[in-house]
């Protein structure tokens, strides 16, 4: 495989795929590196309803596949590999992966973010045994069972609304007394008789024998502790940026996100960032795609200078 490119894109979600489409159409030799599944976290969405031009909605998996096919048609190369480091040379940037070293004149970082974990006893032990971070992936395993969803944002309420198709009851556990989700999602959840809210409550532990059986809970207002019998728990409490490989190389904010300007430029010439990995990202597929296009256009300008 080639090891020298004009542009290397790290991450295969909407930001990375959009960047790859634009650089490839610009006839720049481009490589996209993705460590898991091309399409990124949008592939977890059963239906994407708010992508302009797709009035009937589209599955996240299909949207990711179509974006990849479109970029590939114009010459984008793709390699499934994990990026472990980045080196800066005078005129080249070296991307280090578990499948070798690749050089480019410009790098676009679109490595996205991963779901944040609760960090409580039992979480690691029961991951895949009742603890899940993806209702679309694992919801069918809980037919006619009681499950919990932890979180109060769009992701958590979307998970709950998906799970009612399978579960007999969905308990939404939130550490505040109101949701952060958009009004339309709150309305749908409140109208569903299968969804119940446990306000001002935190999960302190996950119990079971082989599989999840029970949650240890604490009311953050009264301090009262209780248990809740469930067959599964779905965690949706935010995300953490995939930037560990950049520490000491690029300026990051206090939470690990990449700092850019409106051109998606970082503090280092020839290094761009786009999508969820970028500070103050809206974390939407459409805005990630816009970031990717902006990064690609400015990467092309940088290379031509």
- 304 contacts 27 by C-beta, under 8 angstroms: no
The backbone torsions φ and ψ at residue 24, rounded to the nearest 5 degrees and listed phi first, read -70, -40
Residue 138 CB partners (closer than 8 Å, separation 6+): 132, 232, 234
Positive or negative torsion for Cα 68, 156, 286, 276? negative
Strands 100-109 and 201-209: unpaired
Name the catalytic one among 44, 138, 276, 291: 138
Q: Is 114 a catalytic residue?
A: no
Place of tokens 């070293």: 101
Record the tokens describing residue 100, joined without a space. 């070798």
Distance between CA 26 and CA 4 in Å, rounded?
17
Name the catalytic one among 44, 114, 134, 253: 134
Q: Is 229 a catalytic residue?
A: no
Name the catalytic one among 137, 192, 229, 253: 137
Distance between CA 205 and CA 123 in Å, rounded?
8
Q: Which residues participate in catalysis according to the annotation? A: 134, 137-138
């Amino acid at each position: 495989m080639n090891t020298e490119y004009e542009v290397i894109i790290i991450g295969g979600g909407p930001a990375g795929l959009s960047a790859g489409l634009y650089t490839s159409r610009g006839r720049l030799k481009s490589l996209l590196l993705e460590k898991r599944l091309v399409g990124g976290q949008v592939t977890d969405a059963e239906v994407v309803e708010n992508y302009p031009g797709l009035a009937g909605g589209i599955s996240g998996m299909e949207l990711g596949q179509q974006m990849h096919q479109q970029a590939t048609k114009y010459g984008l190369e793709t390699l499934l590999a994990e990026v472990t480091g980045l080196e800066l040379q005078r005129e080249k940037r070296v991307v280090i992966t578990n499948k070798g070293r690749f050089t480019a004149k410009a790098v676009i970082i679109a490595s996205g973010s991963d779901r944040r974990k609760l960090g409580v006893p039992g979480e690691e032990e029961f991951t895949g045994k009742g603890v899940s971070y993806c209702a679309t992936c694992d919801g069918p395993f809980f037919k006619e069972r009681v499950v919990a969803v932890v979180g109060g944002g769009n992701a958590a309420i979307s998970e709950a609304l998906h799970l009612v198709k399978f579960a007999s009851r969905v308990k939404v556990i939130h550490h505040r007394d109101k949701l952060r989700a958009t009004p339309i999602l709150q309305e749908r959840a409140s109208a569903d008789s299968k969804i119940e809210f446990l306000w001002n409550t935190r999960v302190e532990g996950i119990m079971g024998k082989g599989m999840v059986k029970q949650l240890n809970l604490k009311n953050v207002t009264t301090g009262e502790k209780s248990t809740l019998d469930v067959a599964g728990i779905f965690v949706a409490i935010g995300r953490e940026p995939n930037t560990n490989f950049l520490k000491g190389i690029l300026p990051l904010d206090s939470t690990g996100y990449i700092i850019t300007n409106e051109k998606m430029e970082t503090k280092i010439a020839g290094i761009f960032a786009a999508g969820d990995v970028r500070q103050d990202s809206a974390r939407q597929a459409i805005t990630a795609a816009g970031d990717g296009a902006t990064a690609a256009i400015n990467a092309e300008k940088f290379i031509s200078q």
